[in-house]
Amino acid sequence: MLWVMLTFRTALTASVLAVVVLPATAAAASTADPATVRDIAESALAAVTAEDALVREIGTLPAPPPGDLSDRLRQVDGQGYAALQQFDQLDIELSGAVRAALDRLPPRGEGFPPATAVYDSAIGDLARIAATPEAVLPRKGGSGPALGLLAVTAVSLLVLGAAALGNTLRKRESDDDLAAMAWSDGLTGLANRRRLDHDVASHDDADVSVAVIMVDVDHFKTVNDSFGHQEGDEVLRRVGTMLTDNVRFDDVVYRYGGEEFCILLPGATGDDALSVARRIVEAAPAIVLPDGTNVTVSVGVAHDQGQSMAASFESADRALLAAKSAGRNQAFDAADLELPPRPQTLASFAG
């Protein structure tokens, strides 16, 4: 991953320098004052660079970020969004990476921040705008981008594609693809089973260890029977929020089906995954039912580094069953269990 990112930044820097050297065809130019465009670009560049650093720092934390980090992230996010609005007021054409990086971050649990590669591309694009503000184009009325702009865009897209290979679990598709695949669960807003199938398939092509956590809401049928399905749906939504509040920044939470959830933890060690699982078990009772009782969950954890995702799902699922059989409201690590093999394939989890 490190060599990919270093290669990405090196190539991106070269592409930014290239746009200054390559001749530009002034077929169309923005009517905005170049000095104004440069000021906005420099402000946006500072905001995106700071946001990228904060997102990376928060991603290393084993627990939700402290208040000061969250406040700083909200501040730079707001600065970036203000710059985006200024660009739009001037009708400046921006790359998709720049727009994604400057746009508002989704609330925690309701989406994901841009991938590292997107931030890298946005930083390069903004550096190019700051270096040559007279070359930017309006979104309307232009007859085509300058040659230098085409060159830097082509290089950035090629390198962005290479960098994305190391970040498959956070890979972002086009808006049309996301809409077509319907990757969000309608009830909880979490990633759904189809998204899980996609991410598992992506992982099969990547050299990244991924831990798996399976979560089941204890006695959920009783919740529906006692309080009705509307209350049951509300419990599932609150469990989904609880899960996203207690995972690491890069982890992805999925609604697996019914009252069962799944979490993929890219790059996590066995200890990392077990720590997240225990935090989830401890947090669940904060969800209180109408009769004053507390929600509990059973959790299974697996970390099969170097083995297939099918093996990880198999182990996590059986660890979950062991946790339920032992009395529920606890997390079991598959590594601590004697689990005899049983025939099961990934197709069992993708059906």
Q: Give the residue numbers annotated as catalytic, written as ranges.
A: 259
**CA separation for the pair 1, 131 (Å, rounded):** 29
Q: CA separation (Å) from 243 to 15, 53, 103, 137, 295? A: 41, 24, 25, 44, 13
Q: How many CA atoms lie within 13 A of 225 on its CB side?
A: 4
- Run of H or E including 333: strand 331-333
Q: Tokens in use for 269? A: 């060690």
What's the CA gap between 119 and 114, in Å, rounded? 7
The conformational region for residue 144 under phi > 0 = left, psi -120 to 50 = alpha, else beta, is left
Q: Find tokens 């841009």 and name the residue.
A: 114
**Alpha-helix residue ranges (DSSP H) falling in 103-169:** 116-131, 147-164
- For residues 134, 138, 144, 148, the Cα torsion angle rounded to the nearest 10 degrees is 30
- The 10 Å Cβ neighbour count of residue 271 is 12
C-alpha pair distances (Å), 197 with each of 8, 203, 255: 28, 10, 12
